[in-house]
């Protein structure tokens, strides 16, 4: 039987690359995000892989629950959940931080992960089978200047991953986390609120990870035998040694 992967934040970056990688690995897909046109384009690109598109914001619990309840029968058994949707907004010292940015990060990175997991876990626990991959960050392991709330949100993802793995152990559900370092996606464009010039400088002078690099690791993790759980991965470009130390030529 073909397995089904449910990917949040699939309209761009790591989520989109993961959809491509898992389609190649033989999964059928539920791809979700806020940008319906991009998701439809992705579904067309992945043909003939069966793809179902759901459009919602992970921060909206009611919308998440309604979307999951609408899944057609052939997509209702979710084998793999990739909690990828998230964001970074702003880069300011805590005393100058914008509370709206804080809400965006905490609601998206933490509550969004909880909302989607809560909607899909009843089916996984009932079947006693499932695999959850949470996308964290090196920022969840090392706090850096002006990263305060973003780092806190990703530290919460790390804690939740461990808590989920403990709580779901009796239900035979594998839970794991991928923590990327510098990945060239729309991440910095969002953080700097459309300042593309500033965003581009983040990745100049070295070769950052690509979204496809992270997707390759996720594909490896979810295709291991059922008795294997690659529980935690820290993935860095070769030029990066820590959250703030990057060798730029």
**pTM: predicted TM-score of the whole model, two decimal places:** 0.95
203 tagged catalytic: no
Q: What is the pLDDT of residue 195?
A: 76
Residue count of the chain? 249
Coil, helix or strand for 52? strand
In terms of DSSP bridges, do strands 28-33 and 51-55 run parallel, antiparallel, or are they unpaired?
parallel
Percent of the chain with pLDDT over 70: 100
Per-residue pLDDT, 185? 85
Tokens coding 174:
């594998």
Does position 186 have pLDDT exceeding 90, yes or no? no
What is the predicted pLDDT for the residue at 191?
78
pLDDT digits 0-9 by tens, 75-93: 999 999 999 999 999 999 9
Backbone phi, psi, residue 233, to 5°: -130, 130
Does the structure show a pLDDT above 80 at 189?
A: no
Band (pLDDT 50/70/90 cuts) for residue 1 is confident
**Percent of all residues in the chain with a pLDDT value above 90, rounded to a whole number:** 92
Q: How many helices (DSSP H) and strands (DSSP E) are in the chain?
A: 9, 7
Q: Which domains does the chain have, with CATH numbers?
A: 4-235 (3.40.50.720)
The confidence score (pLDDT) of residue 203 equals: 92
- Per the CB < 8 A criterion, the answer to whether 31 and 42 are in contact is yes
- CA-wise closest residue to 199 among 186, 211, 181, 210: 186
| Annotated catalytic residue within 144, 150, 203, 206 | 150
- Residue 204 burial class via C-beta count within 10 angstroms: exposed 0-12, middle 13-18, buried 19 and up: exposed
109-144 residue pLDDT tens: 999 999 999 999 999 999 999 999 999 999 999 999
């Amino acid at each position: 039987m073909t397995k089904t992967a449910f990917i949040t934040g699939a309209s761009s970056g790591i989520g989109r690359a993961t959809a491509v990688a898992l389609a190649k690995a033989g999964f059928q897909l539920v791809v979700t995000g806020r940008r319906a046109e991009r998701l439809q384009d992705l579904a067309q690109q992945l043909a003939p892989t069966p793809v179902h598109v759901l459009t919602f914001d992970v921060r909206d619990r009611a919308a998440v629950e309604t979307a999951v309840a609408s899944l057609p029968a052939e997509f209702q058994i979710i084998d793999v959940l990739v909690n990828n949707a998230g964001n970074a907004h702003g880069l300011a010292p805590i005393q100058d931080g914008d509370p709206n940015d804080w809400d965006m990060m905490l609601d998206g990175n933490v509550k969004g992960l909880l909302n989607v997991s809560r909607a899909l876990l009843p089916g996984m626990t009932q079947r006693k089978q499932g695999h959850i991959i949470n996308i964290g960050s090196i920022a969840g392991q090392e706090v850096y200047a002006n990263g305060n709330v973003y780092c806190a949100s990703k530290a919460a993802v790390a804690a939740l991953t461990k808590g989920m793995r403990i709580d779901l152990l009796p239900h035979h559900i594998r839970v794991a986390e991928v923590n990327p370092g510098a990945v060239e996606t729309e991440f910095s464009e969002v953080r700097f609120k459309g300042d593309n010039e500033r965003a581009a400088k983040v990745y100049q002078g070295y070769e950052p990870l690509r979204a496809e690099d992270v997707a390759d690791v996720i594909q490896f993790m979810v295709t291991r035998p059922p008795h294997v759980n690659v529980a935690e991965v820290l993935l860095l470009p070769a030029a990066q040694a820590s959250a703030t130390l990057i060798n730029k030529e």
